[in-house]
Structure 1
Amino acid sequence: MHHAFSLGSATTSGFNLNDGNIHTAKIEYVPGTMTIFVDDLANPILTVDVDLAQTLDLDEGHAWIGFTAATGGDSTNHDILNWVYNSVADMAPVVIISDVEQLEADDGTTTDFAFTVTRLGHTFGTVTVDWTTADGTAAAGSDYVASSGRLTFEEGGATKQTIYVPVNGDGLREGREYFLVD
């Protein structure tokens, strides 16, 4: 089975696959969104809203992907010809935690810093995450309250949970400090 979908050139200004160089490409798919990276594998050149499971007639959850040369006289206008698709069910779950940058409260008070923990990948099975704080330039006891705990992501349940770490206000003039949540 063969499908053709046009990506267009909406966000790929100045990008050229026809420059005679070898390029490295990475394609990430999270249900509903496909992100394409070329050469700079940290910053996408294109993000497309697409539901591959509904768009494609998948053969055992897999298909093949490829891009055409530029079309329409624009070096950034490439078409997707075929698809490579691995079902999210095949992905091992991954847990990531957000960074938090926040001011501490006034002297003698505490502020809860909220860290969002997100489960990515499939939601089959239960995933348990043990976490603990660790000193960076901030010290447990004086700058923040040493904390630890366990998060449990139930099968098919919530994919985001929040960790709260109390941070002590001290009224001192000081540079940026940090602690870690491992």
Structure 2
Amino acid sequence: MTGAPVDPGDPTRYARPTAEGFADQWETGPDYDDPWGTFEVPKRWRRLMDRLPGGPDGRDYESTTGQPVRYARVRCGERVLGFLWASADGAAGYEPRNAAGAAAFEAGVPWLSRLRSAGLRGVRAPEALEELLGAAADGRRGGSVVEAVTHEAASLDALEELSGRC
């Protein structure tokens, strides 16, 4: 309209600006397939960490990793509530299972507390997961239990998909 040359700007993860408007990104991958999912995981993590004694300001393992993760199912009876996980690069955490609802978040609190305690003792993340295998959350029947066997996921994103976050 003004006769000025058009400077479309730099592409973003959502679109590529052109002189006529926007063009679709042709890249593929999780960042492009589900951009809204990138907001959901940090929100879920904050919801869990806010429930811990001492809040989210405690010294914890890294909550993200690009490496494969070892995980164990956290169960209450036959019901899977979530997944306790760790990676070789020092990240560890708990991934709640959406289908378990609020019980999945409640079940994560004692396990994240135990991971925090292990981190404060200087235990590496993979060894912290090993310490918790087969343990019960409250030492009584009816609480959550970490299975004694671990599995491997190709990435934390793959484990999040398994948890039903989408």
Q: Do they superpose with TM above 0.5?
A: no
Which structure has the highest strand share of the two? 1
**Larger Rg over CA atoms:** 1
Q: Which has the higher helix share?
A: 2
TM-score, length basis structure 1: 0.21
Greater length-normalized contact order (CA 8 Å, ≥ 6 residues apart):
2
TM value normalised by structure 2: 0.22
